[in-house]
Homo-oligomer: A and B are copies of this chain.
Amino acid sequence: MSDSTLPPLLAAEGWHVLHLYYRIDHATWSLLSPEEQIEAKTRLSELVQEIRATEGCQLLIFAMVGPKADLGFMLLAADLHKLNAFEKQLTQALGADILQPTYSYLSMTERSEYTTSDEQYAADLAAEGHAPGTPEHEQKLAEFKVRMTKYLKDRLYPVLPPWEVMCFYPMNKRRGEVKNWYALSFEERKKLMGGHARVGRMWAGKILQLITGSTGLDDWEWGVTLFAHDPADIKGIIYEMRFDPVSADYAEFGEFYIGLQVPLDELFRRVQV
């Protein structure tokens, strides 16, 4: 019933991302009969399957830690109309007013503007003594291009991992009266972001990070989604990054949400529906 007769609403590049967090209204839930409760859970299960089977869509499910939220979804969609239709259905799937939205965040996957270009990398190779045309230059450049193609695909069209712990928070770059990110030159910003990337690489294998852009789409400028196997690694990387100058001087953070990826039946059990 959610099929739209409208043409798809696609971005020239990247996917739409919606984080959705809810509390369950157990009083309303308890008014449903056991049969209605089973129907409701079946409806949500089928909707999850439908979304996951839809071209250009991904859906992750979380048991959220603490009463800020009981459960959460992370929905990715190429078509904004589809994302909009699916999010309204997810909210209603367990019945009217059962899922009470507590927080949500809209963003889009995007390329980093600070990524090293092929030309810059070739120039760096030359500066290191590997002149253009030499086999070493050509091989290293080819490897770089493969690496960057994968990196760009992972940013724009990521396949999200089933790691246990998820952390989401939105952030801004500071526009203070003294410290103002947007008054820095591109070169200054690129250099600062480089330090940030170095910290990120030190946590490879422990932390998977997805940065999505939300300037103009929601109340902060970026969304950050982290995945980890050990909750202490979430704390570890974010604490370490606070000392990185780009964060120390320019980062502003919103609310933090911690969710656990669990199968849907475990989620139902855990949130007691």
Interface of chain A residues 237 through 257 with chain B (CB within 8 A): 237-239, 242-243, 245, 247-249, 251, 255-256
Q: Is the CB–CB distance between A66 and B106 below 8 Å? A: yes
Q: Is the CB–CB distance between A217 and B230 below 8 Å? A: no
Hey, which chain B residues are within 8 Å of A271, CB to CB?
Answer: 88
Tell which of B9, B88, B213 touches A235, judged by Cβ atoms closer than 8 Å: B213
Hey, which chain B residues are within 8 Å of A270, CB to CB?
Answer: 2, 4, 84-85, 88
Tell which of B5, B13, B65, B214 touches A83, judged by Cβ atoms closer than 8 Å: B65
Q: Is the CB–CB distance between A177 and B175 below 8 Å? A: no
Give Cα A188 to B176, complex, Å: 20
- State the copy count for this chain: 5
Q: Would you call the interface of chain A mostly helix, strand, loop, or mixed? A: mixed
Give A79-119 as 1s and 0s: 1 = Cβ < 8 Å from B's Cβ atoms. Answer: 01101110111011000110001001110101000000000
Report if A49 contacts B (CB, 8 A): no
Nearest 3 A/B pairs, CB to CB = A216-B238, A67-B101, A26-B96
A-B contact pairs, 25 of them (CB 8 A): A2-B270, A4-B266, A6-B262, A9-B231, A18-B66, A26-B92, A65-B80, A65-B83, A65-B87, A65-B106, A66-B105, A67-B101, A67-B104, A68-B104, A70-B88, A84-B270, A88-B270, A183-B245, A183-B249, A215-B239, A215-B242, A216-B226, A216-B238, A217-B234, A221-B239
